[in-house]
Amino acid sequence: MSKSQCAPDEALECCTSLAAEPIDVEQAEKIAPLLKALGDPARLRLMSLILSHEGGEACVCDLLPSFDLSQPTISHHLKVLHDVGLVGRERRGTWVYYSARPAAMAAVGSLFDTAVLA
């Protein structure tokens, strides 16, 4: 059984700025995987390519040409992004479309709100 499920929005509604107060252990363990998933150049670019692609979604064939990596490797990175809930996946015919999940992105972004106060 491959557990390729996309993590739902449990982790996505619970976070404020890192600077506001010390984040608690549970929050940290929920959010860190999202940052970790984005902490690879290929996946960061994939996220950006998907976000800035027409309609906010892109199929694998749209993304592949931007990389020197093999197709299985790209597929693997997309699975990582999907597993942590940063992107959604939808099959339409032969193609699989990946789309950004704004709530997850916003959750990560909120960590850095008002971080400019220090």
Which spans of this chain sit near DNA (rule: CB under 7 A)? 2, 4, 36, 39-40, 42-43, 59-61, 64, 68-73, 75-80, 89, 91, 93-96
Contacts of 28 (CB under 8 A, 6+ apart): none
The helix/strand/coil state of 20 is coil
Beta partners for residue 58, in sequence order: 98
Strand order in the sheet with 57-59: 57-59, 95-100, 87-92
Near a copy of itself by CB under 8 A, which window of 1-9, 36-44, 71-79, 89-97? 36-44
Contacts of 35 (CB under 8 A, 6+ apart): 108
The residue (of 83 and 113) whose beta carbon lies closer to DNA is 83
Q: For residues 46-105, which are near a copy of itself according to CB under 8 A?
A: 47-49, 51-52, 56, 66, 99-100, 102, 105
The footprint of a copy of itself (CB under 8 A) covers 18-23, 25, 28-29, 31-45, 47-49, 51-52, 56, 66, 99-100, 102, 105-106, 108-109, 111-113, 115-118
